Structure 1
Amino acid sequence: MIDGKRVVAWTPYGRRRTYSILFQYLRRDFEDGLIDEVWLYMNTDPQGQEDDIAYAHQLAAEHPTWVQLKHRPEGVHLGHLPKQRYTGLAYREMTDPDTVYLRFDDDVVYIHEAAVENLVRARIQMPAPTAVFPIIINNAICSHFLQVCGKIPMEWGEVKPYCMDPTGWANGPFAVRLHEMLLDHIDAGTVPELYLYQDFPLQPGTQFSVSCFASRGEDYAALPEPGVLVPDEEESWHTIHRPLATGAPNILRGDAIVSHWSFFPQHPFLNNTDLLDRYRGIADKAVA
């Protein structure tokens, strides 16, 4: 618990390759008393992902007191949509008003040791936003603010404040440089040098890639149908529709840092490096 609130870290789960890195940090923060439960919301295909599914069940069996598998609600069908569209149904599980929910993509591959505590405290202290985001390395809007604050060289390519900016979202060599920058800071013990000098509000209606954010169970509990998002696409609801309805901007927190591995246009470039192996080695040391 943090400041009297339970903390549940949850993930739309599908890929063992990267989640096995993320899990090391979640285990560290559970053992440090910052996280109370870890949920894997199963967003897998029954065929072709047998190893991914087996790994999730293995984690739940090895850690039955704090790791839970969650599944799509029975009887709810969205038609022939890609599985990524089903993640908005997960919020039907998140209606405990005394819980802060931390969402992590299954390819978040680094969580700074101060990130969870700082992000949850910000979430508790600022009740108005729909979502409070950390600094996400490899997120276009975060890269824009990091560039504005002089943390990312403009020579790497200018990033505009748009979630699918051609440089910040689709440029593979730019993503490689971002990860190299963060990994060098991790190795040097200087990750806080990447902190922003303030929190930044995100104008209501600004779409933001939701690789990681903190939200409140009481907000989902207060919906006309508790936990039912309308529209049900989670990124649109959290970053466009809900902020426009409330008039409250989402917040980018300046002193919490995580790293998101890859958007699909970046895959060919990142997969041709040893960067994921470097992240895995650092994660293993975090719980050694």
Structure 2
Amino acid sequence: MRQVSIVALGLVFLFGIYTLLGGDTASYNLYGGKGSVSGSDGAVTHGGDHSKPWFPPGRPHPPPPPATNDKGRIVGLVFYGRRDHVKILDCYLQRNLKANGGLLDEIIFSVNTDNEDDLAYLDNELLPKRPHYRKYALEKHKGWLGQWGCVTERDTIYIKIDDDVIFAEDNTIAAMVKTLREKPDLFAVSANIVNNPALSWVHWHLGVFEPYWPEMTPPEKPLNASWRASELPSYTGPRDGPPEYKSDGSSPAPYKGHRWLPVRGKPENPPPSEEDNKVFPDPPYPASKVTYDAFGPSLRNWGAAAQLHYSFLQHLERGETWKYKFNIWDYQYDRVSINFFGIRGGDIMDCYPFPKGDDEGYLTVDRPRELRRHVYVAGEGLAVHFAFGPQYNAHEKHGLADTDLFSRYRAYAEEMVCPFPSRNSNSSAAQQLDAEAH
């Protein structure tokens, strides 16, 4: 019996050494469902139980290496319709052009608007100044589908970008392209999007959402245009939020241009008893209600969107965007929003025009399932999407639209991005690609 125990301990020891040396221990499940973590490429996967997909804690990550050198172009595809948003996005697009040290050979603005002012901005102000930008006129297909008609190059990787993407790190497109090229069996890859319904659940469990509540009355002094969260005053109201505000998003914004304030220290009115504290250990912040669901509260609750945006700006100021990052998230045929979405041209051309009017559902659920090819999230490629319709239009545009968040992102871009359309030549993506090729 003693000999058997010694042998068993020896096997356990050898297995541990094998694992530490990088051995593939196959998939393992931490919650008893179908969820797993692959041992070979670090991909985090999940199955039937969406309530608890496993996820490692946030930690610093080095920037991903550049996309591997490969034949074929990389083209940005902006679904265009709102000039105010694109004035911010343009600053990030310029930094991602190959001519400026990025990876994009060109950027196509696929237009879906009849607004004369929006069209005039694109035709008369933007395109004449940007030789690597061009316009595509919408085909006569229902909804957004016609905007995919400009995809005509099979070997090109297209990076589809919504016009209300208002932040992207320099390495975001490189992380997406690298993932696609290293995994040719993938159907598509998404950036790691802040304000993307199911990913908001992931970010919540990474612990990146900070405590914020709306400011219910306008401040006495005029507000400055700073994007920095450190310049906001502290929230001093009740622990569970302002009584007039409902954290499920069912109440409108208090006033146009209102701020959300960080909770620093202890708010007023803590739980009255130790027993209550056991039942309600944390305040009911809006972001605590997000779920792993493309159509859940994180899509519709404007307050949750406000909290996650203010949290991001706080981490951005502190240099803590690494807290959002991970390696790979495998969506396993679940729906993912395509706000910042990379796909090979051939995979669009083989099924366009799409057989259904929902391009997002078709490209992230139906077509991948049909081909048995997955959609990944490149966790190192961080970007921010401003608003979905239900968030922006809540309470007749008295929800997220009535925050000062858009002006904060604009202030950040004008200070930190727009003055620098070209990257530092010593760290340009193009030079890194050339170095790999040689």
Normalised to the residue count of structure 2, the TM-score between the two structures is 0.58
User: Is 1:18 matched with 2:149?
Assistant: no
User: Is 1:264 matched with 2:321?
Assistant: no
Number of the residue aligned with 1:157: 288
Number of the residue aligned with 1:254: 379
Number of the residue aligned with 1:274: 404
Number of the residue aligned with 1:37: 106
Aligned length: 269
- Give the partner amino acid of 1:219: D
Number of the residue aligned with 1:98: 155
- Give the partner amino acid of 2:405: L
Separation in structure 2 between the aligned mates of residue 16 and residue 34 of structure 1, nearest angstrom:
24
Number of the residue aligned with 2:268: none
Deviations 1:118-171 (A, max 9, x none): 1111122122232211111111111112223333478532322211112x1111
- Any gaps of 5 or more consecutive residues in structure 2? 1-65, 211-281, 393-397, 420-438
Fraction of identical pairs, as percent: 28
Find the residue that maps to 2:208 and give its secondary structure.
coil
Number of the residue aligned with 2:302: 172
Separation in structure 1 between the aligned mates of residue 368 and residue 382 of structure 2, nearest angstrom:
23
- Give the partner amino acid of 1:178: L
Decide which structure has greater helix share. Answer: 1
Separation in structure 2 between the aligned mates of residue 274 and residue 149 of structure 1, nearest angstrom:
26
**Counterparts in 2 of 1:276 and 1:124: CA distance versus 1, 3 Å:** same
**Deviation of residue 232 (structure 1)?**
4.7
Find the residue that maps to 1:169 and give its secondary structure.
helix
1:202 aligned residue (331, 340, 351):
331
Q: Bigger shift: 154-163 or 99-108?
A: 154-163
Q: Is the 1:132–1:253 contact (alpha carbons within 8 Å) kept by the matching residues of 2?
A: yes
- Give the partner amino acid of 1:211: N
**Deviation of residue 16 (structure 1)?**
0.7
User: Is 1:124 matched with 2:181?
Assistant: yes
Q: Is the 2:190–2:378 contact (alpha carbons within 8 Å) kept by the matching residues of 1?
A: yes
**Deviation of residue 29 (structure 1)?**
1.3
Separation in structure 2 between the aligned mates of residue 118 and residue 12 of structure 1, nearest angstrom:
21
Q: Is the 2:157–2:345 contact (alpha carbons within 8 Å) kept by the matching residues of 1?
A: yes
Separation in structure 1 between the aligned mates of residue 152 and residue 187 of structure 2, nearest angstrom:
14
Number of the residue aligned with 2:269: none
What are the within-5 Å matches in structure 2 for residues 48-127 of structure 1? Answer: 49-57=115-123, 58-63=125-130, 65-73=131-139, 76-78=140-142, 85=143, 87-127=144-184
**Deviation of residue 77 (structure 1)?**
4.8
User: Is 1:28 matched with 2:68?
Assistant: no
**Counterparts in 2 of 1:220 and 1:274: CA distance versus 1, 3 Å:** same
Q: Is the 2:300–2:391 contact (alpha carbons within 8 Å) kept by the matching residues of 1?
A: yes
- Give the partner amino acid of 2:129: E
Separation in structure 2 between the aligned mates of residue 272 and residue 72 of structure 1, nearest angstrom:
31
Q: Is the 1:89–1:232 contact (alpha carbons within 8 Å) kept by the matching residues of 2?
A: no
Find the residue that maps to 1:208 and give its secondary structure.
coil
Q: CA RMSD in A?
A: 2.0
Number of the residue aligned with 2:360: 235
- Give the partner amino acid of 1:53: L
- Give the partner amino acid of 1:228: P
Q: Is the 1:89–1:229 contact (alpha carbons within 8 Å) kept by the matching residues of 2?
A: no
**Deviation of residue 270 (structure 1)?**
2.2
Separation in structure 1 between the aligned mates of residue 129 and residue 411 of structure 2, nearest angstrom:
22
Find the residue that maps to 2:402 and give its secondary structure.
coil
Number of the residue aligned with 2:418: 287
- Any gaps of 5 or more consecutive residues in structure 1? 79-84
Separation in structure 2 between the aligned mates of residue 98 and residue 129 of structure 1, nearest angstrom:
14
Q: Is the 2:177–2:342 contact (alpha carbons within 8 Å) kept by the matching residues of 1?
A: yes
Find the residue that maps to 2:166 and give its secondary structure.
strand
- Give the partner amino acid of 1:173: G
Number of the residue aligned with 1:81: none
Separation in structure 2 between the aligned mates of residue 213 and residue 202 of structure 1, nearest angstrom:
13
Normalised to the residue count of structure 1, the TM-score between the two structures is 0.86
Number of the residue aligned with 1:217: 345
Separation in structure 1 between the aligned mates of residue 141 and residue 374 of structure 2, nearest angstrom:
31
Number of the residue aligned with 2:317: 187
**Counterparts in 2 of 1:77 and 1:216: CA distance versus 1, 3 Å:** closer
Q: Is the 1:39–1:67 contact (alpha carbons within 8 Å) kept by the matching residues of 2?
A: yes
